[in-house]
Structure 1
Amino acid sequence: MKTISTAEARTRFETVLDESQRAPVVIRDQDCDVAVVLSIADYERLRGGAVQAFLDLRNEVAREAGAAGLTQERLGDLLDDE
């Protein structure tokens, strides 16, 4: 992954956009990574992965809760107790 300064990103923005289609470009300001420019395809893949990971976790928790005998009614009772 290529890393460039904020100054370079400003002066070469069109080139940075072009390079980001091949690989993400990290933008650095005073020894600190502040942003990443990546292709829309990479962004959508990351975003979709996060959503899918959440859905997988939700389903796993639901399976474990069901296996432990936790019903919607019991969950409601537990939440009402607080």
Structure 2
Amino acid sequence: MKTIAASEAKQGFAALIDAAAREPIAIQRQKRDVAVVMSMQEYERLTRLNKSEFQRFCDRVGARAVEAGIDEAILAGLLADDA
């Protein structure tokens, strides 16, 4: 991933957008990474990936709950006890 200074990003914003269409660009301020500029396609791909991974996690937790004999009624009772 290419890295540029924040001042360079500000001065060459159009070029930054063009470069981000090809690969994510890290922006640094005082030698610290503070932001990343990426294409909309890459952002949407990462968002879909996160949603898919979260769904797989929920499915695994749900399967373990079923194996342990936990159902909706038990969960509702547990939640009511916490209220």
TM-score grouping bracket, smaller chain normalisation: over 0.9
Counterpart of 1:35? Answer: 35
Runs of 5+ in structure 2 lacking a partner?
none
Letter in 2 for 1:16: L
Paired-residue identity, %: 38
Between the aligned partners of 1:31 and 1:11, the Cα distance in structure 2 is 17
2:60 is the alignment partner of 1:60 = yes
RMSD, aligned CA: 0.8
Give the superposition deviation at 1:73.
0.4
Q: After the TM superposition, which segments of 4 or more aligned residues of structure 1 sit over 2 Å from their partners?
A: none
Q: Secondary structure at the match of 1:65?
A: helix
Between the aligned partners of 1:34 and 1:44, the Cα distance in structure 2 is 21
How many residue pairs get matched?
Answer: 82
Per-residue CA shift, 1:14-41, capped at 9, x if unaligned? 1111111111000000121111000111
Give the superposition deviation at 1:13.
0.6
Question: What is the TM-score normalised by the length of structure 2?
Answer: 0.94
Per-residue CA shift, 1:28-65, capped at 9, x if unaligned? 00121111000111100000001111111111111110
Give the superposition deviation at 1:77.
1.1
Letter in 2 for 1:11: Q
Runs of 5+ in structure 1 lacking a partner?
none
